Amino acid sequence: MLPGAARLPRGDLILCDVVRERADNVLRGLQELGVEARGGIAADDVELTLSTAAERAAEEAPGSGADAVVWDEVAAKTGEQTELSATYLVLIVVATMIAGIGVLLDQPILIVGAMVVGPEFGPLAALCVALLRRKPATVVRSVQALVAGFLAAMLATVVSTWALTAAGLVHRGMLLAERPLTDFIWRPDALSWVVGLLAGVAGMLSLTSKKSGALVGVLISVTTVPAAANVAVAAAYGVWHEAGGSAVQLLINLCAIVLAGLATLAVQQVWWWHVGRRVRRRAPAEVAVR
């Protein structure tokens, strides 16, 4: 505790180390005390701690630190990605244009690259968190970012396809030719739902836990940006049945990710509420013994 260290507003600065499993309870308690309203709360993730006391605290805390969910952290992490910024628009436009070229060339490498570049999973994750926590304003911002982003990306891809065609670099026959490596993009089936649901589960787990490395695999597994690109390229050439199939593929992936992500968050919330309830029941007895 550093008395008088805070200047605006004036007050004391308190620093403490908390194991991840307890962090959500501590943050909730501070908010109930009004610290958030009268001052401020900041949290950082400690990458390395060499402390016997920290090891003992981790052993006494329920569950695993790698699986613990800090809901305010998740809300902050996803809330930043609902802003319809210039960077977001440029990334989704570039990703869709890359995927559009990959569709015409039947090149899975370009499709995978576009999946990684695409930033659309951020607003999707924010939408899941906002729906669970009942924050309509964040829901609206997430939907706006998704709709505006995909519309801008598809419009830009239509224009770029016309420009490449005028330059003689691509032609309509490339779209109508056999494309065994990428025709799944506009041929949705039951597996499209399965992959989308699994990607939603993995994506939410990677955001709520410390296993963030799995998120790259999630981005590669979903067919959102490639489907939007195929819609744009097919519309540019007037191949409407393929554009329709790609639009259905896009809708399936978006809905599946949101449904699976929301279900994953709900299960995690119930699980950690149950763990916290058991700890609160056990706490008075432990205090009495000590």
Per residue in 87-132, pLDDT (tens digit) is 999 999 999 999 999 999 999 899 988 888 888 888 888 899 889 8
Residue 211 CA to residue 220 CA, distance in Å, equals 16
- Tens digit of pLDDT for each residue in 196-238? 898 888 888 888 776 555 455 556 567 799 999 999 999 999 9
DSSP one-letter code for 22: H
Q: What phi, psi does 46 have (nearest 5°)?
A: -85, 115
- Tens digit of pLDDT for each residue in 132-190? 888 898 899 999 999 999 999 999 999 999 999 999 999 999 999 988 888 888 888 89
Tally the residues of the chain. Answer: 290
Element (H, E) at 10: strand 10-13
Percent of the chain's residues with pLDDT above 70: 88
8 A C-beta contact, residue 232 and residue 161: yes
Q: Is the peptide bond before 9 cis (omega within 30 degrees of 0)?
A: yes
